[in-house]
């Protein structure tokens, strides 16, 4: 008998809130996290705006000052999301279950802040001054490893790295771990902090970033004809997934069921999606099939929705190819319109938002959608949240390299 996987805890750190409740409220209100870059002097950059996490204190989640200094900012975010999610799930990882609780938390880039700082140290002060903690600050798996050390989770543990599909792959693979009996509970998601001089310069040189520097609040414009690229974001989205029987036996509150997961490759181009969004379409089909659902069961899609020209059009084409006439009845929205593109964290954050959407029956909006692209002509929940009963929802993720990951969340009925 196939095990059912449910979501019992959620932790969020986003540009619109340092915790789940604050983030969810801000997203429902259509709040933008965009603003001028404050982490460094960006005056010489073509792009000088980002969606930064504001007022975040890692010591609230990592009380040992040495541990804070020895870990990159993306790990700080991951740890904050994990602490929140475990508390939300009321899950205590004790000796009875610690061997059966695992961690899959990924990052698309890893410790970019540490990389910037330590390369500067190398060039300015010499190799003897490079930190002995640099490698463990930089490598992408360290968030998963550190979470296990801090929580005592001794089950399956690794990091996914699939660019902007990372967080979704982490959640999907964690669910598969539970389904095949390798764990009773998993800590899963993504974390990222790439707002550094190199991070901004590199994406800007690809012409991927918005240059609407004088209007950062309105710069992230998925599906809008006036979009000019994504806005860099940062943060973490962590979910607690559990075997349904285990969750019910301990009396856990259940947000929803993670019913399906599909992952595919475009095998097409290093950055451009496959024509017509064919790879994403196959991933959506797989997620729906694995959920044992029909196309018409899907009522909402949390889109990848980056506000780049090719992504938004290819995702729209993929939805049309999968759902046919039913695409016109779907509600679709982009969380990135408010928090920017959080890269490897995006799939984790958007999975969390989709789970909350199913649980609360509120569709978060796509803000800044004032001049719809004629080729993006579906219902993107423009500018204002909407109440709606959601039976089955998809969360779409796509990554450089042609990675596609789709998660299907179903309203839990027991």
Instruction: Supply the residues annotated as catalytic.
Output: 164, 304, 341
Pairing of strands 234-243, 392-399: unpaired
The rounded distance, in Å, linking the Cα atoms of 160 and 146 is 15
The rounded distance, in Å, linking the Cα atoms of 346 and 399 is 10
b or e along 154-185 (b: 16 or more beta carbons within 10 Å of the residue's beta carbon)?
A: ebbbebbbbbbbbbbbbbbbbbebbbeeebbb
Spatial CA neighbour of 190 closest among 310, 104, 257: 104
The CA distances from residue 159 to 1, 84, 104, 105, 386, in Å, are 28, 20, 5, 5, 35
Beta strands across the sheet bearing 157-158: 157-158, 101-106, 185-193, 234-243, 5-13, 256-265, 403-410, 392-399, 298-302, 331-333
How many C-beta atoms lie closer than 10 Å to residue 134's C-beta? 19
How many C-beta atoms lie closer than 10 Å to residue 387's C-beta? 9
In this structure, are residues 76 and 150 in contact, taking their beta carbons and an 8 Å threshold?
no
Q: Is 158 left (phi over 0), alpha (psi -120 to 50) or beta?
A: beta
DSSP string, 33-74: --EE--SS--TTSS--EEB---S--GGGT---HHHHHTS-HH
**Cβ within 8 Å of residue 352, ≥6 positions away:** 10, 11, 12, 20, 189, 237, 238, 239
């Amino acid at each position: 008998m196939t095990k059912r996987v449910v979501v019992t805890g959620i932790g969020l750190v986003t540009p619109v809130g340092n915790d789940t409740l604050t983030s969810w409220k801000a997203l429902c209100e259509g709040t933008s996290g965009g603003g001028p870059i404050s982490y460094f002097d960006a005056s010489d950059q073509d792009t000088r705006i980002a969606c930064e996490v504001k007022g975040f204190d890692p010591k609230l989640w990592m009380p040992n000052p040495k541990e804070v200094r020895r870990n990159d900012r993306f790990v700080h975010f991951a740890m904050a999301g994990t602490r929140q999610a475990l508390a939300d799930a009321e899950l205590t990882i004790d000796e009875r279950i610690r061997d059966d609780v695992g961690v899959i938390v990924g990052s698309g880039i890893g410790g970019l802040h540490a990389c910037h700082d330590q390369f500067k140290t190398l060039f300015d002060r010499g190799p003897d001054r490079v930190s002995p903690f640099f490698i463990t600050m930089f490598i992408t798996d360290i968030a998963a490893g550190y979470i296990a050390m801090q929580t005592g989770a001794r089950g399956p543990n690794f990091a996914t790295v699939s660019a902007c599909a990372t967080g979704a792959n982490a959640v999907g693979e964690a669910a598969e771990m539970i389904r095949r009996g390798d764990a009773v509970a998993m800590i899963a998601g993504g974390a990222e902090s790439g707002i550094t001089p190199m991070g901004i310069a590199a994406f800007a040189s690809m012409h991927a970033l918005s240059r609407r520097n004088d209007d950062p609040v309105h710069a992230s414009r998925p599906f809008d004809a006036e979009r000019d690229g994504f806005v860099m974001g940062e943060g973490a989205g962590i979910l607690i997934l559990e075997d349904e029987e285990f969750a019910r036996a301990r009396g856990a509150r259940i947000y929803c069921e993670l019913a399906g997961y599909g992952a595919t490759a475009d095998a097409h181009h290093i950055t451009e999606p496959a024509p017509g969004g064919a790879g994403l379409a196959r991933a959506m089909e797989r997620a729906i099939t694995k959920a044992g659902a029909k196309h018409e069961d899907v009522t909402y899609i949390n889109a990848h929705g980056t506000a780049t020209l090719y992504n938004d059009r290819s995702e729209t084409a993929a939805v049309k190819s999968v759902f046919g006439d039913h695409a016109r009845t779907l509600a679709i929205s982009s969380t990135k319109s408010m928090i920017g593109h959080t890269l490897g964290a995006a799939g984790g954050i958007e999975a969390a938002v989709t789970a909350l959407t199913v649980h609360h029956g509120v569709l978060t909006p796509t803000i800044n959608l004032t001049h719809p692209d004629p080729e993006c002509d579906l219902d993107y929940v423009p500018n204002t949240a909407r109440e709606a009963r959601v039976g089955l929802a998809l969360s779409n993720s796509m990554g450089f390299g042609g990675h596609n990951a789709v998660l299907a969340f179903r309203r839990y009925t027991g």
